[in-house]
């Protein structure tokens, strides 16, 4: 073989090796973790969402007094499903909670027993106006001691002379609902006491200090045999809607939002329904 032929053969081999290398490099790039593929069955990348066990942090939830039983249960379930989280619960009348948050109390989530008190925080720019989500409804029911000493059978009976009636203060959601029922029915009540939360009203009845109290259906149910519940048709005219939202300055916004999602999700809605709450 001549020198020219030998050089040509070597050149052809070099070109072939170079082409093979280029093909291999391109194939490697196509199979690298770029996250994109145009072929059938290719997956599209999605934004990361919290999964069970991935959350870490401690939050404080401010919730209406009527949510004490359900939120205590839901907080325990949430923590069990997310071992890296801790939930502190603060229960009181919704108006009192608004005052606390407005004055700087550290809250990550607020759950109100009405939309009016939630609006106070959105108006104060402490909660994003688009954040609140309705998660439950509730209506009033008359609670009396098991023996019903005053013989209460209707809403009008609460206005009878000598009846020791206890209600929520007007600025509290259960009190606002009471006023609405009074106005709609034309019945004027003369309570012996106005309390700052629905649980305080229930306490007056269970202790025997009152003949009757206006509380929520859920409070009567949670009290069990300690009280007797008396439904009245006028209550349908004052249905309370419960919203929940993450507070703007939350230092643990991801955990806070996850808890909100938990309350509004299937587990939360099941627990609330079992307690007597209506759907939002």
pLDDT (0 to 100) of residue 239: 97
Read off the pLDDT of each residue in 62-70 and give the average, rounded to a whole number. Answer: 97
**Chain segment 107-154, per-residue pLDDT in tens:** 999 999 999 999 999 999 999 999 999 999 999 999 999 999 999 999
pLDDT (0 to 100) of residue 54: 85
Query: Above 80 in pLDDT, residue 7?
Result: no
pLDDT (0 to 100) of residue 50: 58
Of all residues in the chain, what percent carry a pLDDT higher than 90?
Answer: 81
Among residues 235, 196, 212, which one has the least CA distance to residue 162?
A: 212
Query: Above 60 in pLDDT, residue 98?
Result: yes
Angle, vertex CA 225, rays to CA 159 and CA 218, nearest 5: 65
Q: Is 22 known to sit in a ligand binding site? A: no
Q: Is 216 known to sit in a ligand binding site? A: yes
Choices 3.20.20.70, 3.40.50.10890, 3.90.1200.10, 3.40.190.10: CATH for 138-239: 3.40.190.10
**Chain segment 194-232, per-residue pLDDT in tens:** 999 999 999 999 999 999 999 999 999 999 999 999 999
Read off the pLDDT of each residue in 245-252 and give the average, rounded to a whole number. Answer: 96
State the CATH architecture for 57-137+242-275: 3-Layer(aba) Sandwich (3.40)
**Chain segment 164-177, per-residue pLDDT in tens:** 999 999 999 999 99
pLDDT (0 to 100) of residue 38: 39
Interatomic CA distance for residues 234 and 238, integer angstroms: 8
Domain span(s) for CATH 3.40.190.10 in the chain? 57-137+242-275, 138-239
Query: Above 50 in pLDDT, residue 45?
Result: no
Q: Is 94 known to sit in a ligand binding site? A: yes
């Amino acid at each position: 073989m001549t020198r020219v032929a030998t050089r040509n053969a070597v050149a052809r081999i070099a070109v072939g090796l170079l082409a093979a290398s280029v093909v291999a490099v391109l194939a490697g790039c196509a199979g690298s973790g770029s996250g994109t593929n145009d072929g059938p069955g290719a997956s599209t990348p999605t934004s990361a969402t919290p999964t069970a066990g991935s959350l870490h942090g401690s939050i404080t939830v401010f919730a209406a007094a009527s949510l004490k039983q359900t939120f205590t249960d839901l907080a325990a379930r949430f923590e069990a499903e997310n071992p890296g989280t801790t939930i502190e619960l603060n229960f009181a009348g919704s108006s009192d909670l608004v005052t606390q948050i407005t004055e700087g109390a550290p809250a990550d989530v607020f759950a109100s027993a009405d939309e009016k008190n939630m609006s106070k925080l959105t108006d104060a720019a402490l909660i994003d106006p688009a954040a609140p989500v309705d998660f439950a409804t509730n209506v009033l029911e008359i609670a009396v001691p098991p023996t019903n000493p005053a013989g209460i059978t209707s809403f009008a009976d609460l206005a009878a002379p000598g009846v020791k009636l206890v209600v929520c203060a007007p600025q509290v959601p259960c009190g606002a609902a009471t006023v609405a029922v009074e106005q709609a029915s034309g019945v004027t009540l003369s309570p012996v006491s106005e309390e700052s939360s629905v649980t305080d009203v229930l306490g007056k009845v269970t202790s025997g200090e009152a003949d009757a109290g206006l509380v929520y259906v859920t409070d009567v149910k949670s009290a069990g045999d300690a009280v007797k519940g008396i439904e009245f048709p006028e209550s349908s005219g004052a249905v309370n809607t419960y919203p929940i939202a993450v507070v703007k300055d939350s230092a643990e916004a991801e955990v806070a939002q996850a808890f909100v999602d938990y309350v509004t999700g299937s587990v939360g809605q099941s627990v609330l329904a079992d307690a007597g709450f209506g759907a939002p």
